[in-house]
Amino acid sequence: MGAFNNPILPGFNPDPSVVRVDEDFFCVTSSFKYFPGAPIYHSKDLIKWRLIGHALTRKSQLDIRTPEPGGGVWATTIRHHEGVFYIITNSFDRYRPQVDDRVWPRGFYVKTTNIWDDSTWSDPVYFDQVGFDFDLFWDDDGTVYLSSTYRKVDRDPQSKLKDFAIHVSTVDLETGTLTSMPKMIRESSSGVAEGSHIFKLNGYYYLFTAEGGTESGHCEYVSRSRESPFGPWEMAPHNPLWRNTTSDEVQNTGHCDIVDDTHGQWWALCLGVRPRREGNDWRTSVFGRESMLLPVRWQDDWPVFNDGKPVTLHMNGPRAYEVDEDKAWCDDFTGDKLGLGWYRKSKTALSF
């Protein structure tokens, strides 16, 4: 058993999603209203990461016109299937409620067979579905399932309660057209169920969901089904999978993606924040939401995250090690293009 330090991706790297392809790990995080969008990181061991590019680099892929605080590209997911990388997301131009109504974006994906070359990512294929936190899952028979978050259809139009729930449907991946009616498969007593990821292992379908909102109530749940991604779903007896509180050095943790390494060990990436303590009070961190790593083991066909203990800045895990490297970054401006790591903030359009 070794040790490692969190965050593994520091400084504004929320909503991590991860895949392993042979011995390489690839992670994408949310970029919100910054451009280029969907930063992609590479690692050989899940601990030391390097920025290798972005999936959204052209106006034909991403053209944010009126971004508001919290808008832009949310909760990107990365998947790999039959030699093709997919990055799935959405982009909110407008986000703030107007008379309790939201302007929902359509989800979309871009794809490539060469993740090392930014220019190879396709133009978007839009889904016939609005919402956010989109995820793709390929079943053994080739059926593709799309899960996403949006409001419950059967709701009181006068209600001010958040009622974001997980819906799933089958989808024609070439066109983005739904091939079945969406079905709500998870709602939360907190009013927020989002960040869905569907996996299949040992004959079970697993549904991971981020619940409670992304502030102090943030946590992660898991359900499983023997039948299909449409359910019925059985909730894990140890939900939530862990809980970080406002007394912990890492807070607001959740929104997980899981992956196994080449030794059969499972891991989860989640987001968290590192508030700064001043006396008895916590102050908001300028780093925002960052990406954390935690070990996962399986017991009775249920995943156990970090033995149910809170995520910390210093963690233990199999074959882990502590990275000791210079965090400084610079660009010598010797090339025709800016180096990786530069972003610009999308401008709000003016109206007269």
Q: Is residue 324 part of a domain?
A: yes
Summarised one tens digit per residue, pLDDT across range 55-90 is 999 999 998 877 777 889 999 999 999 999 999 999
Residue 350 lies in a domain: no
Angle, CA 113 vertex, CA 108 and CA 116 arms, to 5°? 100
Among this protein's residues, is 82 annotated catalytic?
A: no
Burial class from Cβ neighbours inside 10 Å (0-12, 13-18, 19+) for residue 197 reads: buried
The residue that leads in pLDDT, 287 or 23, is 23
33 inside domain? yes
Number of domains the chain is built from: 1
15, 135, 163, 290: which is the annotated catalytic residue?
15
What percent of the chain has pLDDT above 70?
A: 92
What is the reported pLDDT for 270? 98
3-18 pLDDT tens trace = 999 999 999 999 999 9
Q: Residue 160: what pLDDT?
A: 65
Answer whether residue 308 is part of any domain.
yes
Cis peptide before 318 (omega within 30 of 0): no
The answer on pLDDT for 186 being more than 90 is: yes
Q: Is residue 352 part of a domain?
A: no
- 351 located within any domain: no
Calculate what percentage of the chain has a pLDDT beyond 90: 74
As a whole number, the mean pLDDT across the chain is 91
Annotation says 278 is catalytic: no
pLDDT at 331: 84
**Helix or strand run (H / E) with residue 209:** strand 204-211
Annotated catalytic residue, options 118, 133, 194, 220: 194
Residue 106 maps to a domain:
yes
Task: Specify if 18 maps to a domain.
Answer: yes
| b/e sequence 104-119, b meaning 16+ C-beta within 10 Å | bbbbbbbbbeebeebe
Q: Which two tokens stand for residue 69?
A: 């605080």
Residue 102 — pLDDT band, cuts 50, 70, 90? low
> The domain containing residue 335 runs over which residues?
2-345
Spatial separation of the C-alpha atoms in residues 40 and 259, rounded to whole Å: 16
Q: What angle do CA 76, 222, 151 make, to 5 degrees?
A: 60
Domain CATH code at residue 310: 2.115.10.20
Q: Say if residue 136's pLDDT is above 90.
A: yes
Residue 278: band (very low, low, confident or very high) from pLDDT cuts 50, 70, 90: confident
